Structure 1
Amino acid sequence: MEPGMADVYALPADQSGRFVMSMERIHQSSDRIRESRKLMLETEEVGISVVENLSQQTADPPSRSHLQLIRNFLGIVLLQGVDDAIDKSKKKLTIMSRRMTRNKSSVEWLSFSPLS
């Protein structure tokens, strides 16, 4: 070997340390990428499973429990509508009763008043 060639291929200690640290970082980054890829694939599998379940649910007729939930919900909504209708009817009947009482009083007053 020529006298100057050994120095060209030899790395200084600080440069060698930086090289080792860089290689460690590359390995750590590679590990993180592998873990991220693994997590991505698992997430994709879960997503596919969810989509398959949803499509199967829409293809299958509703189960008894689904129908019961729908009936309960509709029952609550219908009962609320019935309650509103009853309240309105009660108010109208109260108004009609008051008018009837007032008209009855007027008729009685007129019937007892002497005609001149």
Structure 2
Amino acid sequence: MIFVKRGANGEVIAVSREPLANAESREGGWSAVSGDEAEVLAFSRIISDAANPLESSDLSLVRVLEDLIELLIERSVIRFTDLPSPAQQKLMERRGAREALQRISLLDDDGVI
């Protein structure tokens, strides 16, 4: 159970995992809701982004690192097998996922490549 406080316009302005004073009632704008509501998830994302300003650049940096690793392997600076097994597995998973996405984007409206 999640407890939310809503502003004057009904927008979520605070979220709590613990019942707060009068949270079970509507007094003070608090109400109990399920944690998977779109408004609660959106509020949580906003708070998360504010708490970790680097998070927004993390995904693009991951792609840069993947490309760098591929380049180092391609130029024989390192071998794929030099990487720890968990790193090899993650890179293979991402490579497979990227290839699958690329195949999907090559399909036209008729499903023909």
Q: TM-score if structure 2 supplies the norm length?
A: 0.27
| TM-score, normalised by the number of residues in structure 1 | 0.26
Larger radius of gyration: 1
Q: Which has the higher helix share?
A: 1
